Structure 1
């Protein structure tokens, strides 16, 4: 049973509403105050719910960050996939479009970039490991499904490790964009990543 209706909402609908308000609050507070500086009390105040209601939605701050982070990753990978699908049907064309789509989407909202590339590191290993596996899988899929992708991988180089290298470079470029006193333009980030990609496949 979903319980009695209150103000036109069932118990399940009220629970879903509180959950979404907490996710929205976390999206802003984890990015502005940082994960360590964001208390459950502050999250509840921002979401306008009680501490008890918080624990009816999430087990703690870590689980909430995992949910927010996963949503950011889903949206970023969706944008990357869309860019790849609309790109010229060549290996480098699709890979470059994927990089551009990923960086472009992540940097559209500074909160998103901060949660994905800084705050998740401060919440323990689990969120980072989960995200790393999913993102790695998506990049490997782009390489494997692009025309001639496997054939262009230099001899003796593992495709998965090459994808990991590219992801590491993207991570550092985005952290630089977040933390630098004079952040580089996003087209510089894309250009640098694409240059590294072309060098990796130059052979």
Structure 2
């Protein structure tokens, strides 16, 4: 009995429709990073994004509901990459636990500053866009802070820190690093990327020293 096979999907220059969509999406993400990170979100209309990414407008809307959806996708890629940098440094078996946390913070800052477009999208262009984007950004901050919080708890279990919930210090540290990066982007700080990364690590170490030295009881009793 003869058998029939399902015909292959139409191809364009050897690529399937799914591959073409994936390539268009990546070009739009690259264009979004370039334009949002250089011109700013407000100055990057969809038409310019499409022309920069060599993607037709109709194909843009196959991928994203609008410009904010593209910003969110670019932001999510940067958050995921930053999380990977943090996690990789924290799992380094050649460094002790305290050194791993310092390395993670410094390397995450370097990842963003080595391409200032990443830093600008993460720390500036994603802020205040809409209520939905702000909620999404806050969730990302908490996710990054949770990585620091978990390893602070490991430090506490190792006797390096007092036993307590490190959620708020971790959120505060993410906020401090965000402001340091913003300052570096908009002001002439006189620091290169490595210099600012060292500042971020020093602040983390100051928090560790302060937590070790001072009581959390406030106001003072008596």
Matched with 1:47 is: 53
Q: Secondary structure at the match of 2:51?
A: helix
User: Mind listing any 5+ residue stretches in structure 2 that lack a counterpart?
Assistant: 1-6, 214-222
Say whether residues 1:94 and 2:100 are aligned partners.
Answer: yes
* Counterpart mapping for 1:11-160 below 5 A: 11-86=17-92, 88-90=95-97, 92-124=98-130, 125-146=134-155, 148=157, 152-153=161-162, 158-160=165-167
Change (3 A) 1:183 1:36: farther
Aligned equivalents of 2:41, 2:197: Cα separation in 1: 28
Aligned equivalents of 1:120, 1:161: Cα separation in 2: 22
Give the structure with higher Rg (CA). 2
Matched with 2:180 is: 173
Aligned equivalents of 1:4, 1:110: Cα separation in 2: 40
Over the aligned positions, Cα root-mean-square deviation in angstroms equals 2.2
CA offsets 1:157-199 (integer angstroms, 9 cap, x no match): 6410011111111111111111113442333323332332233
Compute the displacement of 1:148 (Å).
Answer: 3.3
Q: Secondary structure at the match of 2:127?
A: helix
Compute the displacement of 1:34 (Å).
Answer: 0.4
Compute the displacement of 1:146 (Å).
Answer: 4.0
TM-score by length of 1: 0.88
Count residues with an aligned counterpart: 200
Aligned equivalents of 1:112, 1:19: Cα separation in 2: 18
Change (3 A) 1:77 1:189: same
Aligned equivalents of 1:150, 1:60: Cα separation in 2: 50
Matched with 1:201 is: 208
Q: Write out the 4+ residue segments of structure 1 that deviate beyond 4 Å after TM superposition.
A: none
Change (3 A) 1:104 1:41: same
Aligned equivalents of 1:84, 1:60: Cα separation in 2: 36
User: Mind listing any 5+ residue stretches in structure 1 that lack a counterpart?
Assistant: none
